[in-house]
Structure 1
Amino acid sequence: MRLTADVYETKPYGPGDGRPEGSRLHLLHQAGTVLPQSEIDRLFAPAATITTISPVSGPAAGGTTVTIKGTRLAGVTAVNFGATPGTTLTVVSDTELRVKTPAGAAGAVNVVVAADSGNTTKNAAFTYA
């Protein structure tokens, strides 16, 4: 998606704005109109985060069901172990998903969750035995 904006600015929310004080209001002026915050949030959604991966190791043959916990996981469309996509991805909630490991060579690999909002990597997070 390509988005051209005339002006992009931020300003702090104040008391009574219905948001935590000090958080930022994002204004995007496009072709003379101001996009509502909900539209800006959709266009510039923050990426998912990975807080824990369990288990952290499994056989090189693959097939280990891995639980990933974090934030904003509901939009995840793929999980890679190294360069290889996992299989049977199940999004349990916005904070948890499960995926089966593909086969891989012995050693540690990065785990990457992919979503429309971008990719998030946890380095050397899974080890093939």
Structure 2
Amino acid sequence: MGLYTAAGTRIAKAAFPASAAPITDPEVVVTADVYGTRHSDEGSYYTGDTNDRAPEGDIKTLAFRAGQVVRQSQIDRMYSPAVIASISPATGPVAGGTVVTITGKYLDGVSDVKFNGASGTALKIVSPTKLTVTAPAGTAGARDVVLVDDAGNVTKTGGFTYS
């Protein structure tokens, strides 16, 4: 098979009219089987018989097989950024030590919680919708709370007030 220009001139392989495209969404090779989970709503198939209920908990399914080639954007879409719904209590002493509960969505990817740039301690991911952390010492006033998340940092401006 030959390739030709619109004018009918044959195009040699070395002269193919193309240039390097910027790689904004590279392909990657998955190196191990990766599974995703989704929550099974208990009772969603309930028909009236107490023995006929859908399974409780999470259902694990194969998302990517080892050796599969995928675009980075496909992987990125699997990680939703954290969402802060509430911070409680939203105030504490400048000495720190307040155990703070943060609720929201997609909190299971949070690896650090910063109060005005200083990391909290004793971070515990309770569930994808709840975490607890102990506030560090700070200076008086409303301070930003930043969730360091594997899908990107999320900030609640003035989310915690030191008094």
TM-score, structure 1 normalization: 0.70
Please tell me the root mean square deviation across aligned C-alpha atoms, in Å: 2.1
In 2, the alpha carbon distance for the partners of 1:4 and 1:65 equals: 42
State yes or no: 1:92 paired with 2:126: yes
Distance 1:3 1:114 in 2: 24
Asked if 1:43 is matched to 2:65, the reply is no
| Structure 1 residue 105, shift from structure 2 partner | 0.5
Aligned to 2:138: 104
Structure 1 position 54 matched with structure 2 position 88: yes
1:63: how far off?
A: 0.4
Structure 2 unmatched runs, 5+:
1-23, 28-67
Q: Deviations over 1:61-87 (max 9, x none)?
A: 000000000000011100000110100
Structure 1 residue 3: Cα displacement? 4.7
* Partner residue in 1 for 2:155: 121
C-alpha distance in structure 2 between counterparts of 1:126 and 1:84, whole Å: 12
User: After TM superposition, what 4+ stretches of structure 1 lie above 6 angstroms from structure 2?
Assistant: none
Structure 1 unaligned spans of 5+ = 6-32
* Bigger radius of gyration: 2
The structure that is strand-richer by fraction is: 1
- Using CA pairs below 8 Å that are at least 6 residues apart, which structure has the higher relative contact order? 1
Offset of 1:34 from its aligned partner?
A: 7.0
1:116 Cα offset (Å) = 1.1
Q: Distance in 2 between matches of 1:51 and 1:68?
A: 7
The code of the aligned residue for 1:35 comes to: V
* Number of aligned residue pairs: 98
Identity between Structure 1 and Structure 2 (%): 46
Which AA in structure 2 matches 1:4?
P
